[in-house]
Amino acid sequence: MSTTAKLILQDQTYDIPVVEGSEGEKGLDISRLRAQTGYITLDPSYGNTGSCLSGITYIDGDAGILRYRGIDIGELCEHSTFMEVSYLLIYGHLPTEAEYARFKERVHHHSLIHEDMKSFFTSYPGHAHPMAILSAMVCSLSVYHPQLLEPEQTQSQRDQAITRLLSKVRVLAAFAYKRSVGEAFVYTRPELDYLSNFMHMMFTTPMREYVPDETIRKALDVLFILHADHEQNCSTSTVRMVGSSKANLFASLSAGICALWGPLHGGANQAVIEMLQTIHADGGGNYKKYIEKAKDKSDPFLLMGFGHRVYKNYDPRAAIIKKYCDKVLEHLGIHDPILEIAKGLEEAALTDPYFIERKLYPNVDFYSGIIYRALKIPTNMFTVMFALGRLPGWIAHWKEMVEDPGMKIARPRQIYTGERSNNYVPIGIRP
Ligand code: SDX
């Protein structure tokens, strides 16, 4: 395979290096294009543009494959835990027993936030969206860790920031929920695992103790593993963009949380449930009406939870989450009509030529909210759940980037299409 491509511009021929990844993906390395030719490329939503070389996650969108550090997510969901997958993504290998024990101990050790921060929560109105609180609080955490904000950090400082954020963001999320329902904040318990502690902080009150449930813990582990990373998605690219200025990890993650909030990205899991509830309120089985709305270009309505920039096949995560919907609802003895509506809508869409031609399948957000509903997690907390799951992926990409000696600040170019040279006209004589 030739390692260069030929680019002919006017009467000049340029050699463009070809880059090939470990899975055979090929790219044109245009990092010297402007210097060589005076031209730049234009790709507004980066659908054809690679921003980096990365060894963390591999997606084959046509085959519906997702692997973390080469391990298929189906295997990780079956055999691993969210904490172990977090270590795998961040440090690049499955931990030894000693590494895993130390990692879990360090994450648990840092599960307190400064008591001053509790007053920050009470300054928000009860109706504040928890994603607004979470992004603000993650950035505010940096105030209490000045030693972890230096642009040039040691491996030890990076590890300290990583374990503190993995542990404390879960606390901030639970506290945001408690604030919204007017309940007292609850602290972690030493004997509980990472996710059972999150559920304990969410649902224990002075009147009743949250009772850990193995089926629920496993379902949450699987959900969080499936959300843990997804290569250069919008929020991860945001974390890389912010981190490339040598902004600290707290600020980079805070920006990633904001990017995830959008309904075209992580905010879709909240929008899916709101869509399904609308369909339910409208009789529950009128799928055709909503599929026609989604196809109508004059209607801004989209079938939320459907479609994906990379997957042009069934999102492998959606298939696993759909199975866990049945498991969790059966375990809890819940019959949720919303699940039936979701399955009916999926079946109707997947037989409609519009969706077939465009290869629009359910994505990770289509079924996840149904499990969160069954766990009594409020709809406006669904994207927070996505953020908690995506934390290790964001951290892994930030770490991979800042540890690259060749890292440079991200600064895209543009093609200017505005006014040419203009003169200033004093206000009194403007037309
Ligand atoms: C996530 O990137 C990641 O990896 C993200 C993520 C992760 O783990 O980080 O997987 C998480 O964000 C999943 C996506 C969650 N968003 C939604 O479910 C919102 C609904 N989906 C769409 O907004 C859309 O499918 C996107 C944003 C997900 C993808 O958009 P693209 O790649 O820009 O695709 P497109 O808009 O160019 O769509 C191609 C065609 C268009 O029609 P035509 O112009 O060809 O006629 O498909 C249509 C679109 O109008 N289309 C839809 C649709 N999604 C695409 N039509 C109706 N309903 C939809 N949901």
CA atoms within 13 A on the CB side of 22: 10
Q: Which of 358, 50, 407, 68 has the alpha carbon at shortest distance from 243?
A: 407
Q: Beta-carbon neighbour count of residue 101 at 10 Å?
A: 11
Ligand 1 centroid – CA 120 distance (Å): 36
Closest Cα to atom 12, ligand 1: which residue?
A: 265
Closest Cα to atom 25, ligand 1: which residue?
A: 307
SS3 (DSSP) at 18: strand
Digit-coded pLDDT (tens) for 343-398: 999 999 999 999 999 999 999 999 999 999 999 999 999 999 999 999 999 999 99
Q: Beta-carbon neighbour count of residue 401 at 10 Å?
A: 20
Domain ranges of the chain: 4-65, 73-262+380-399, 268-374
- Positive or negative torsion for Cα 91, 92, 98, 104: positive
Digit-coded pLDDT (tens) for 72-120: 999 999 999 999 999 999 999 999 999 999 999 999 999 999 999 999 9
Cα separation, 368 vs 286, whole angstroms: 22
Closest Cα to atom 4, ligand 1: which residue?
A: 233
> Tell me, what's the pLDDT at 198?
98
Ligand 1 centroid – CA 360 distance (Å): 8
Q: What is the mean pLDDT of residues 215-225?
A: 97
Closest Cα to atom 23, ligand 1: which residue?
A: 264
- Positive or negative torsion for Cα 419, 422, 427, 429: negative
Ligand 1 centroid – CA 106 distance (Å): 39
Burial class (CB in 10 A: 0-12, 13-18, 19+), 126: exposed
Ligand 1 centroid – CA 233 distance (Å): 12
Tokens 């919303």 belong to: 338
Q: Hey, do 73-262+380-399 and 268-374 end up sharing a CATH topology, with the first three levels equal?
A: no
Ligand 1 centroid – CA 308 distance (Å): 5
Residue 2 has pLDDT above 70, yes or no: no
Residue 1 has pLDDT above 70, yes or no: no
Residues near ligand 1 with C-beta < 6 Å? 230, 233, 264-266, 268, 294, 302-310, 358, 360, 363-365
Closest Cα to atom 37, ligand 1: which residue?
A: 309
Closest Cα to atom 26, ligand 1: which residue?
A: 308
Q: What is the mean pLDDT of residues 223-233?
A: 98
Would you name the residues annotated as active-site residues? Answer: 308, 365
Going by C-beta distance under 8 Å and a sequence separation of 6 or more, which residues neighbour residue 348? 287, 288, 291
Digit-coded pLDDT (tens) for 289-342: 999 999 999 999 999 999 999 999 999 999 999 999 999 999 999 999 999 999
pLDDT range class, residue 284, cuts 50, 70, 90:
confident
Fold observed for domain 73-262+380-399: Citrate Synthase; domain 1 (1.10.580)
CA atoms within 13 A on the CB side of 26: 8
* Average pLDDT of every residue of the chain: 96
Fold observed for domain 4-65: Rubrerythrin, domain 2 (2.20.28)
pTM of the model: 0.97
Q: What is the mean pLDDT of residues 51-59?
A: 98
Ligand 1 centroid – CA 275 distance (Å): 16
416: left (phi over 0), alpha (psi -120 to 50) or beta: beta
Atom of ligand 1 nearest to the CA of 294: 57
Digit-coded pLDDT (tens) for 56-67: 999 999 999 999
> Tell me, what's the pLDDT at 285?
83
| Domain at 268-374: CATH code | 1.10.230.10
Mutate to test the pocket of ligand 1, among 264, 269, 315 (most ligand atoms within 8 A of CB): 264
